């Protein structure tokens, strides 16, 4: 970038005392102009990177196939969940939340449960344990005892806080339990126009009971086959898709950055990026000569590292700002995410920008690494400087004549 060199530093290339009119005038670029040029380069790199990411490298990393595989596995998981009775959907395909299930479950118990000829009831847990459970189905009697907390026989002492045998059934011991008469009488006002404190309190206790029992059934279901295998498959595909996102982001940025910070500056060995060309800036050695190959390489490599925070933006179009939470790699118990890369890149870029603004010679990191400076190529500004130097020369000549 531009140096902040004084007039004395420019003497060899065009000052009055140089005495050589054919020397080029090297006028340092304004700091504000240079910052705009850098921002323009970052913006162009980001736009090209996003295009490459979406059009070329996501497909190249197999994103489409992985996404389809994940959708297929997800559908199979939902079908298995629905078959277990622990998940239910309405006619529009919307999945009920656990709160919905709790509401239905408690209301059905308050109004009286029933079991159809296929053994399906309005108690989701009963259906799971008696119709689906992979580690051995419960009988109705076992469900009453192990889940509802009823005694092993009708004649036994009932210690359940909420449930009782259905004495209206022909075989109460082998029929699904119901709310006890006391619990039912306490709960019914909850569904009326005037709720009582007792009915609300009982409803909350039944929710807690259901939530605990549901969680136990859910944990058992998740660890059973075939759902567990589907879950592992989904996790593997999800991990592969994350790797595809990250890999496509890195490669997209790298290709875009190489084009803007290495290939374009190599044209004519001028070292100019698109942003500098637009804002009439040029990169040269202090003597006005063009950069050498090693200088172009070192300059471009440092710029690519400085602006690596752009990698985090590549996947925003597909994942939104969830892209920032993508894991890059794990180190022991630590997981480094895209956010860490973004913050590190911003800090390095900011430090480089502060060097540009406040250092005496106004060199950024990539200027310092390549031992180069940024000058203006704006002929209007150069002509103004040339006229200033000519006026200084004339004044110097007049003083010499007077002496």
The residue with tokens 């100019």 is 272
Beta-strand relationship, 163-164 and 178-179: antiparallel
The dihedral region occupied by 172, where left means phi > 0, alpha psi between -120 and 50, and beta the remainder, is alpha
Confidence check: pLDDT of 22 > 80: no
Confidence check: pLDDT of 198 > 70: yes
169-193 average pLDDT score: 91
Sign of CA dihedral 77, 83, 88, 89: positive
Same domain (yes/no): 328, 284: yes
Same domain (yes/no): 219, 115: yes
- Domain count of the chain? 2
- Taking alpha carbons only, the member of 36, 17, 14 closest to residue 374 is 36
Per-residue pLDDT at 384: 77
Q: Do 394 and 21 contact (CB within 8 A), yes or no? A: no
Same domain (yes/no): 51, 101: no
Structural domain ending residue among the three candidates 223, 241, 261: 223
Beta-strand relationship, 327-331 and 281-284: unpaired
The dihedral region occupied by 136, where left means phi > 0, alpha psi between -120 and 50, and beta the remainder, is left
Same domain (yes/no): 168, 253: no
Same domain (yes/no): 219, 253: no
Per-residue pLDDT at 23: 64
Same domain (yes/no): 249, 329: yes
Structure confidence at residue 200 as a pLDDT band (50, 70, 90): very high
Structural domain ending residue among the three candidates 223, 248, 276: 223
21-29 average pLDDT score: 73
67-94 average pLDDT score: 91
Confidence check: pLDDT of 14 > 50: no
Same domain (yes/no): 52, 103: no
Structural domain ending residue among the three candidates 223, 258, 277: 223
Confidence check: pLDDT of 21 > 60: no
Confidence check: pLDDT of 11 > 50: no
Same domain (yes/no): 261, 282: yes
197-201 average pLDDT score: 95
- Rounded CA separation 103/288 (Å): 80
Q: Do 254 and 304 contact (CB within 8 A), yes or no? A: yes
Burial 119-134, CB ≥16 within 10 A → b, else e: eebbbbbbbbbbbbbe
Structure confidence at residue 322 as a pLDDT band (50, 70, 90): confident
- Let me know if residue 257 belongs to a domain: yes
Confidence check: pLDDT of 5 > 50: no
Same domain (yes/no): 202, 297: no
Q: Do 113 and 123 contact (CB within 8 A), yes or no? A: yes
Identify the three-state secondary structure at position 24: coil
- Rounded CA separation 349/312 (Å): 14
Identify the three-state secondary structure at position 343: helix
Long-range contacts from 338-345, C-beta under 8 angstroms, 24+ separation: 338/246, 338/249, 338/311, 338/312, 339/312, 341/308, 341/309, 341/311, 341/312, 342/309, 342/311, 342/312, 343/309, 344/308, 344/309, 345/306, 345/307, 345/308, 345/309, 345/310, 345/311, 345/312
- Taking alpha carbons only, the member of 274, 284, 220 closest to residue 84 is 220
The overall average pLDDT reported for the chain is 87
- Taking alpha carbons only, the member of 402, 360, 104, 79 closest to residue 227 is 79
- Taking alpha carbons only, the member of 203, 193, 369 closest to residue 291 is 369
232-255 average pLDDT score: 93
DSSP H helices, 7-97, are 31-52, 58-60, 63-83
More confident residue, 38 or 390: 38
The residue with tokens 């063009």 is 290
More confident residue, 290 or 315: 290
Confidence check: pLDDT of 49 > 50: yes
- Let me know if residue 124 belongs to a domain: no
Among 129-138, 263-272, 310-319, whose mean pLDDT is lowest? 310-319
- Let me know if residue 125 belongs to a domain: no
- Let me know if residue 84 belongs to a domain: no
More confident residue, 333 or 110: 110
Q: Do 322 and 257 contact (CB within 8 A), yes or no? A: no
Same domain (yes/no): 198, 280: no
Same domain (yes/no): 109, 200: yes
Domain coverage including residue 295: 8-67+233-402
DSSP H helices, 175-262, are 181-187, 197-222, 227-258
Length of the chain: 403
Same domain (yes/no): 398, 340: yes
Confidence check: pLDDT of 61 > 80: yes
Among 19-33, 173-187, 350-364, whose mean pLDDT is lowest? 19-33
Among 141-150, 281-290, 314-323, whose mean pLDDT is lowest? 314-323
């Amino acid at each position: 970038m531009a140096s902040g060199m004084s007039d004395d530093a420019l003497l060899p290339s065009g000052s009055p005392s140089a005495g050589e009119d054919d020397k080029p005038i090297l006028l340092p670029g304004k700091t504000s102009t240079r910052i705009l040029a850098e921002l323009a380069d970052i913006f162009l790199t980001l736009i090209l990177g996003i295009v490459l990411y979406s059009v070329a490298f996501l497909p190249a990393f197999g994103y489409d196939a992985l996404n389809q595989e994940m959708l297929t596995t997800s559908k199979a998981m939902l079908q298995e969940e629905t078959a277990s009775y622990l998940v239910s959907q309405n006619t529009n395909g919307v999945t009920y939340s656990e709160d919905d299930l709790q509401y239905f479950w408690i209301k059905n118990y308050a109004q009286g449960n029933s079991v159809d000829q296929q053994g399906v009831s309005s108690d989701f847990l009963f259906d799971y344990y008696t119709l689906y459970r992979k580690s051995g189905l419960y009988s109705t009697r076992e469900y009453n005892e192990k889940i509802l907390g009823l005694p092993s026989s009708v004649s036994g002492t009932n210690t359940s806080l909420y449930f009782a045998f259905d004495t209206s059934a022909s075989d109460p011991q082998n029929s699904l339990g119901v709310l006890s008469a006391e619990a039912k009488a306490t709960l019914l006002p909850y569904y009326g126009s005037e709720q009582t404190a007792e009915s609300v309190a009982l409803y909350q206790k039944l929710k807690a009971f259901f939530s605990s029992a549901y969680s136990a059934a859910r944990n058992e279901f998740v660890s059973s086959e075939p759902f567990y295998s589907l879950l592992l498959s989904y996790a593997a595909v999800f991990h592969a898709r994350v790797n595809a996102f990250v890999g496509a982001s890195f490669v997209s940025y790298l290709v875009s950055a190489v084009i803007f910070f290495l290939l374009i500056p190599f044209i004519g060995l001028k070292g100019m990026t698109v942003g500098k060309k637009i804002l009439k800036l040029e990169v040269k050695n202090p003597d006005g000569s063009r950069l050498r190959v090693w200088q172009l390489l070192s300059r471009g490599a440092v710029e690519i590292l400085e602006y690596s925070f752009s990698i985090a933006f590549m996947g925003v179009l597909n994942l939104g700002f969830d892209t920032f939470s993508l894991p890059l790699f794990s180190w022991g118990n630590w997981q480094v995410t895209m956010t860490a890369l973004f913050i590190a890149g911003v800090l390095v870029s900011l430090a480089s920008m502060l060097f540009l603004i406040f250092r005496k010679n106004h060199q950024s990191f990539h200027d310092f690494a390549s031992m180069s400076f940024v000058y203006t190529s704006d002929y209007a500004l150069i002509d103004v400087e040339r006229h200033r130097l000519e006026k200084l020369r004339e004044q110097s000549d007049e003083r010499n004549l007077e002496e």
